[in-house]
């Protein structure tokens, strides 16, 4: 009897990452769930089918963390899917946010995620099978005043995922950039902008985002914007002149 397909989900202790982990476990995957909060990962594992979720509590920005994920994954079996959902933001004027906070945003959103992708891709390509879901944001399509570093990191991830998708054509490995709009998670509270996100148009539940993303990935999409409201708003903003887009975005994110 073959072993269940292995999926790695980062940022699995809450929000979109937790929703992905639960959905994949329910679909028969074995999930290596990676996040800082061990208690949240234990809750996730208890709620999943028996032995479906393997918890790996660690900070992806810590020295050696990515190597630790790869080692644990190889103990469990070949990786069929990576969902790179770990990320954070910080709201405020770019020069007023502590330098250490901005560095943490970039280290988690960009450096750790890219390092993990490039660590896992060679084995996927060698096997001729695998997939990546890179969780970016609808904010990756336009500048995000008061979320400058976060928005820039998401624009980087969108471009990175699309470029990898082209490079991997014909290898059997697929990449999808997931670009959600507002989602009812802890992001706003941690970023210091819960008041701005409350009641935002098109807000989705994490479970809706994960389900939509898995359908889109199965259909072969390279870029997926879940939710009709977010898709329309992102399309409109992306087509405005850049100066107009900046003004609209500044009003959206200004306190």
Residue boundaries of the structural domains of the chain: 6-253
pTM over 0.85: yes
Please provide the average confidence, as pLDDT, over all residues in the chain: 92
Which residues fall within 8 angstroms of residue 23, CB to CB, at 6 or more apart? 207, 210, 211, 214
Closest CA to 139 of 11, 217, 246: 246
Report the b/e string of 182-216 with b at 16+ CB within 10 A. bbbbebbeebbbeebbeeeebbbebebbbbbbbeb
* Residues 122-145 pLDDT 10s: 999 999 999 999 999 998 998 999
In the residue annotation, 160 being an active-site residue is answered as: no
In degrees rounded to 5, what are phi and psi of residue 93? -65, 135
Of these residues, 142, 146, 150, 160, which one is catalytic? 150
Average pLDDT over residues 194-206: 80
* Structural contact between residues 237 and 201, judged by C-beta atoms closer than 8 angstroms: no
Q: What is the pLDDT of residue 219?
A: 97
Which secondary-structure segment (H or E) carries 249? helix 242-253
Q: What is the pLDDT of residue 191?
A: 67
Question: In the CATH scheme, what is the code of domain 6-253?
Answer: 3.40.50.720
Gap between the Cα atoms of 139 and 117, Å rounded:
21
């Amino acid at each position: 009897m073959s072993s269940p397909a292995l999926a790695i989900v980062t940022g699995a202790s809450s929000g979109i990452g937790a929703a992905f982990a639960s959905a994949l476990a329910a679909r028969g995957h074995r999930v290596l769930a990676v996040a800082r909060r061990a208690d949240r990962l234990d809750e996730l594992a208890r709620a999943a089918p028996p032995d479906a979720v393997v918890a790996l509590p660690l900070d992806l920005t810590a020295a050696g963390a990515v190597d630790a994920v790869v080692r644990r994954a190889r103990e469990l079996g070949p990786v069929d899917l990576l969902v790179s959902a770990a990320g954070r933001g910080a709201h405020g004027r770019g020069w007023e946010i502590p330098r250490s906070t901005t560095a943490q945003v970039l280290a988690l959103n960009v450096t750790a995620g890219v390092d993990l992708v490039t660590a896992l891709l060679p084995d996927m390509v060698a096997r001729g099978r695998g997939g990546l879901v890179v969780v970016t944001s609808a904010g990756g399509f336009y500048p995000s005043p008061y979320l400058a570093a976060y928005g820039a990191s998401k624009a980087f991830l969108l471009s990175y995922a699309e470029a990898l998708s082209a490079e991997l054509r014909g290898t059997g490995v697929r990449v999808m950039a997931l670009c959600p709009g507002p989602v009812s998670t802890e992001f706003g509270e941690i970023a210091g902008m819960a008041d701005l996100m409350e009641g935002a148009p098109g807000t989705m539940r994490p479970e809706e985002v994960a389900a939509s993303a898995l359908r889109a990935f199965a259909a072969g999409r390279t870029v997926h914007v879940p939710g009709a409201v977010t898709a329309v708003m992102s399309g409109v903003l992306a087509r405005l002149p850049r100066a107009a887009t900046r003004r609209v975005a500044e009003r959206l994110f200004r306190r």
